[in-house]
Structure 1
Amino acid sequence: MNPTRRTVLLAGATAALLPALSAQAAPKAAALQPYASYWYPDSLPSGTPGTGITWRSLKSWCPADDADLAFNASTVPLAARFTPTPANPTARADQARIQSLVSFGPTAGNPSQGSATADYYALTHWAYTDELVFWGGSSGEGLILAPNAPIVDAAHRHGVPVLGNIFLPPVAYGGQLQWTRDLVQKDAAGRYPLAERLVAVAAAYGFDGWFVNAETSGGNTSLGADMLGFLRELKALARAKGQRVTWYDSMTVNGSVSWQGALNSQNEAFFQAADDMFVDFRWTAAKLASSGERAAQLGRSRYELWAGADVEANGWNASVNWDAIVPRDKAHVVSVGFYRPEWTRNHLPADGRTPGDFHAADDRFWTGRSLDPSHPDGTDSWRAPAVSVADRSTVTSMPFASVFNTGHGLRWYEDGEVTSDAPWNHLGLQDRLPSRRWVVHTEGQRPAVTFDFADAWRGGSSVLVDGELDGPAVVEVYATRLPVTADTVVELIHRTDAGSVNVELAVATAEPTAPGATPPYTYIPVTTADSWQTSAVRLAGLSGTVHAIGVRLTPVDGGPVRWRLGGLAVRDATHTPAAPTALRVTAASGGDFRFAWNQAPGDVRHHTLHRLLPDGTRRFLGGTCQRAFFAGGLRPEQGEAEARFELRAVGELYTTSAPATVTHRW
């Protein structure tokens, strides 16, 4: 990569890294508001931290003293994935994969459990991603970042591991070589105590390992040897806990920082000590080819090398030699490492971007200009992941349900009614979403299919099919591996907003005959209405395994059709979760509250917290997968003497428990 692009990279990677900028950018911290955690390895900077910044030493961390751990710990286990028949003939199932380095927020002041805005990078295209790195770090705030729980919960539902980030910055951006020495310090027994501490943090917080990026120059061979010993011990300890370690191509074995853009003798030892390696942007086609060959000679997969693709500044307009990574006509060379794909949000005007604008851009990035992975646009210079990489799904067991919640919204809906008109984001509330968006099989005009935020059955969004239908159109919704029993029922919650259309549930019990082909669907009619309608269909006459679920829309009179899908469930029984117990206010300051509770036995998807107002209505305050929640900025209403709160457990089928209640006197 040329120096200009490197400068751009560093400037982006260290946004708000300089202490002065960090102090200005960080919000004033509410006393009780929990934030994502960040640390220095051991020694702290000189001086005092900026407003809203807390300097912490990882060496001093222990879970018993972590007051925000309950808010930051993921509760969703990493789901297993399968690969359905690819959506198109060029998508490979067993070759290149995708790693994404994403900055979801600042190092300091990044709320633990979402916030009151819909303007958020609500990543939904997990189906193409193999590893997510919680990118960030700052010389003025902290160098080691633990991903916050909503991101981990959403990723885990889709089978994607999430790594915390260790960023040792360049000297030009405040990096101090002492911090590198702190990270790799040894105890009297010759062990690396911070390797053990990092693994303990990941285990306590529920994420999947660490991305190690050592870019502070000035080291020597001795420091290089210490870093290699540290990395080997980190990997050994991580593997024992089911965690993983990724190395960034920066420091070389002699301790200097020299980005190679290849796997070679200068970084091979680090690659061997890690699970995989992000190859710096200086790569060329020849370097990647030799790197893949070298990995194979080491007995490693070439796809454990992520070739960096810098999309922070230009997104799908970035200049990437795709044939050097994922050629169309021969085996993929290595995997893809996206640096900052949140460009899909950030390039939109900050003063007017909407969730719909973001998802339109994000679909363009991941699916390509055609917006249909089964029909890629061959003239598109951007080789979207869906063109080269087969999607994957985690929908393998019942009960399964989705209300197509993307993890942010302009308001909150329950049973089609607004229970909070405040915008919000919380990725932990995101559903398992359709993996290939959006495949439409039709001989006629293709309708537009999008996540829509103007109305929803539950959460903040629904699926909207909108267009001039001149023939039947089959919209693929989920690739699944669900067993069919005598009691299996599929439920659709849907509504016709405009036009006249016949709706059929489409169910396939086998794979398509070829990539891109329509699954062998059986079509079952369902009733339609211009208000929310729940249609329950028993799969009588079908047996085996459900491989795909979709809907077929057939126009009655022609003309524009707007049809909305608000929910889908597959079940062979219903279950209502038991109520949580011991709901309590653990801290209160003005209108800011911390809540905690005990979860009842049994499966619980998440919890929702409502405020019961004096007029008897319920106002949604938020939801979380954790056993603790923060609500801020509350005030007495209508002269009430005490605030009343209700907490409910929500099951996988979106059935809700009886409430647990607590009051707080103002």
Structure 2
Amino acid sequence: MRPTRRTVLTAAAAAALTALRPAPAAPDLQPHASFWFPDTLLSWDPRTDPDLPFNRATVPLASRFTPPPPNPMAHAHRARISALVSFAPTSGNPSQGSPTADHYALTHWAYLDELVFWGGSAGEGLILAPTAPVIDAAHRNGVPVLGTVFLPPAAYGGQLRWTRDLLRRGTDGDFPVAGKLLTVAREYGFDGWFLNAETGGGDAALAADMRDFVAFLRDHGHPLRVTWYDAMAVSGDIAWQNELNDNNAPFFRAADSMFLNFGWNRPGLVSSAGLARGLGRDPYELWAGVDVEARGWDTRVDWEALLPPDGPPLTSVGFYRPEWTWKAAPAGERAPAAFHRRDDRFWSGAALDPARPAPGPGTWRPPAAFVADRSTLTALPFATTFNTGHGLAWYERGRVTSTAAWNHLGLQDRLPGRRWVIRTDGARPDVGFDFADAWRGGSSLLVTGSGAPATTELYAARLPLTEATVAELAHRTDPGSGAVRVELAVALAEEQPYPFTYVPVATLPAGGGTGWTTASVRLGALLRGRSGGTAYALGIRLAAPDGGPVRWRLGELALHDGTPPAPRPPTAPAVTASSTAADGTAALRLAWGPPAPRRGAGRPRHYEVHQVLPGGERRFLGGTCGHAYYVPVLSRTAGEPATCLEVRAVDELYTASAPAPVTFHW
């Protein structure tokens, strides 16, 4: 939050991302994340915003539950985690991903209670709305997303008039800009606003207006959330308190939560928690700021002050810029698989074992060491292809349908929340996301080890089982692997450690020569004569029957009570705008309507767009959860006068609808 830190990072991030982003074929058509100044927001109208269809999220906020944590020091229903993340610069941030895998593909949603889409600057805009891919990925995992209102320090371009513009009242005494903020959140589909007022020079009257503005947002936006950053004091000046006290308590009372500045200490946190309770509020509505932007897991933090060894955490934790795991990666660790290993270390600890994070005094305390994870797996059908939301290619049923790198978090699957809880009497295998091969999307789960029997816990769940429930897997061995015996691990009781029952799946041959194979196993036998039950955890047990090494990958895991009918195709797809570049490629804006309802079919999970090539092959162009998509580069094939595109609806089991064709004439 401090000006020097923010300014340096913004410039560096802008330079880095500009270098990584290929130039679009038609910049005038490229939709971007939306940002405004207070006065320009007043003139924004969703009915005339041509980019709104590309920025509108569609995935509802999922409900979640807290399973018994694998680590007894992880406190359920107490401390929580907020993260302020800058996925890209404020301006020039593509609405729906971009053609590179070098992207902060956040996947540790299980530990997050709130994500702030961080940004804003005096030179670009002060009010920043989250992009649809981030909202959709977060919502799929039950995490609310907040946009940012940033009033920068005067020394770095902030102007007090912008604060006054924000707080200007209408003739009815209400706040017109606050009304617009509520409209933006509802139209774009996100969950509230993070308010960071750091422009000095105000007075007590201005601070009172700010308090009323915050209260207006909270009262009129319910259930939208408002988080206040500890900067402006009741005097109207900027005075970071590093605790909750009389100088900032009115703002906390008006908001849903408050992000405490980074200079907190033990007495201040004790006092803050006590004052919060005295106000009738939960002390875990306070986020103790931890600035990891510069040093990540080497950041010096007084963890003993925040996490007393003889009791629960004093407050929740707010991470500032955990995308350090991506931005600060050394050469050789920016590739997707290496990035996820770094990110897993940040959230799970150096041992990559949430059951035994074993933090030492004065060292990094990963969230897995003190916060219970959450899960949204409560209903069937459920499927995952371990797609992390970025990749070096796109795969469909094990075949490459695009060789282009990509990122789009809205296409991300629900991924294992605990990385990685493993049980074995032998050497612990290595488990992680891999991008060299996939069944669907851009990645798969790769397990390598010595071959001793090992169970990898994948998902905490509360999935209803019946005699008709079927589990399906797409898996393979890789070259260099011995034969691998595969069993599905299912826990029918919610306790730690999970009491797994093992269901034989297959024994795959050595060497990987047979490629991907699919298997289907019925889970009804687990119910032992009962009409139903619950799967509280899912995992995989692998062993090498011949004693050879294991190199095995899982491309898909699905559970269902019978395959539902495929969704109907999208309706009325159309090219709404196009432009041809000097190199002969085209950029397109596409739009379509939702499918007509079909009995038994679920709502589409997302939509996929393909180009039909001569001979009938299809090339994947992209996907989105919404009803509009921007194709940055469409290449003409063999001088064809027109190119056929197909849009498909894809359901939760990745069953695609029939295509809805649309033709682009060159």
2:69 to 72, 86, 101: 86
1:412 aligns with 2:408: no
Deviation, structure 1 residue 351: 7.9
Is 1:391 equivalent to 2:373 in the alignment? yes
CA distance in 2, matches of 1:642, 1:152: 35
Aligned to 2:334: 353
Aligned residue number for residue 583 of structure 2 = none
Structure 2 gap ranges (5+) = 581-585
Larger mean Cα displacement after TM superposition, 361-370 or 501-510? 501-510
Give the one of 56, 59, 70 matched to 1:76.
59
CA distance in 1 between counterparts of 2:190 and 2:610 reads 29
1:665 aligns with 2:662: no
Q: Deviations over 1:140-164 (max 9, x none)?
A: 1100000000000000000000000
Identity %: 59
Q: Distance in 2 between matches of 1:436 and 1:456?
A: 21
User: For the structure 1 residues 556 and 81, does the alpha-carbon distance in structure 2 shift closer, same or farther, using more than 3 Å as the test?
Assistant: same
Matched, 1:587 2:577: yes
- Pairwise CA RMSD of aligned residues? 1.9
1:194/1:17 Cα in 2 relative to 1: closer, same or farther (>3 Å)?
A: farther
Distance (whole Å) between structure 2 residues aligned to residue 643 and residue 351 of structure 1: 39
Q: How many Å separate the matches in 2 of 1:412 and 1:13?
A: 32
Check if 1:261 corresponds to 2:242. Answer: yes
- 1:174 equivalent in alignment to 2:174: no
Mapped pair 1:567 → 2:553: no
Shift of 1:336: 0.4
Distance 1:258 1:13 in 2: 23
Once residues 162 and 16 of structure 2 are traced to their aligned partners in structure 1, the CA distance between those partners, rounded to angstroms, is: 20
Quote the Cα distance in structure 1 between the aligned partners of 2:4 and 2:370: 28
Indicate the residue corresponding to 2:484 in structure 1: 501
CA-to-partner distance for each residue in 1:361-397, whole Å, 9 max, x for gaps?
0000000011011122344811000010011100100
Deviation for aligned residue 1:11:
3.0
Q: 3-state SS of the aligned residue for 1:204?
A: helix
What amino acid is the match of 1:234? L
Residue equivalent to 1:539: 523
Q: Cα 1:23–1:257, aligned 2, differ >3 Å: closer, same or farther?
A: farther
Pick aligned residue for 2:194 from 192, 211, 220 = 211
Post-superposition shift, 1:213?
0.2
Deviation at 1:15, TM superposition (A): 3.9
Give 1:492 shift.
1.3
SS state at 2:38 partner: coil
State yes or no: 1:141 paired with 2:124: yes
Distance 1:8 1:537 in 2: 57
For residues 338 and 12 of structure 2, what CA distance do their matches in structure 1 show?
26
Q: 2:205 aligns with which of 222, 234, 242?
A: 222
Q: Aligned to 1:548, what secondary structure does the other structure show? A: strand
Alpha carbons 1:607, 1:625 under 8 Å: kept? yes
In structure 2, the partner of 1:597 is 592
| Secondary structure of 2:634 counterpart | coil
Using the alignment, how far apart are the partners of 1:38 and 1:646 within structure 2?
A: 32
Distance in 2 between the 1:112 and 1:368 partners? 32
Give 1:605-620 correspondences, 5 Å limit: 605-620=605-620
Q: Partner amino acid for 2:93? A: N
Cα distance in 2 for partners of 1:391, 1:351 equals 30
Aligned runs of 1:115-154 on 2, under 5 Å?
A: 115-154=98-137
Matched, 1:37 2:19: no
Amino acid at match of 1:276: S
1:551-566 matches, cutoff 5 A: 551-566=540-555
1:421 maps to which residue?
A: 403
SS at match of 1:632: strand
Cα separation, 2, equivalents of 1:527 and 1:625: 35
Amino acid at match of 1:620: F
- In the superposition, the TM-score normalised over structure 2's length comes to 0.93
CA distance in 2, matches of 1:405, 1:564: 13
Secondary structure of 1:645's match?
strand
| Stretch of structure 1 that moved more, 285-294 or 67-76 | 285-294
Indicate conservation of the 8 Å contact 1:147/1:163, yes or no: yes
**1:558 & 1:379 partners in 2: Cα distance?**
36
**2:442 is matched with which residue: 440, 460, 467?**
460
CA distance in 1, matches of 2:539, 2:332: 37
Residue correspondences, number: 640
The one-letter code matched in structure 1 to 2:266 is: A
Query: CA contact under 8 A between 1:22 and 1:141: conserved in structure 2?
Result: no
1:501-536 Cα offsets, whole Å, 9 max, x none, are 211111111112x3xx2x111111112333212111
- Give the unaligned 5+ runs of structure 1: 43-56
- Contact 1:505/1:524 (8 A) holds in 2: yes
1:470-509 alignment, distance < 5 Å: 471-497=452-478, 498-509=481-492
Secondary structure in 2 matching 1:573:
coil
Name the structure 1 match of 2:79.
96
State the Cα distance separating 1:14 from its structure 2 match: 4.7
How far apart in 2 are the matches of 1:168 and 1:180?
Answer: 7
- How far 1:8 moved relative to its partner? 4.5
Taking the aligned partners of 2:13 and 2:327, their CA distance within structure 1 comes to 18
Is 2:485–2:542's contact at 8 Å kept on the other side of the alignment? yes
Deviations 1:19-64 (A, max 9, x none): x99999997870111001000001xxxxxxxxxxxxxx11111110
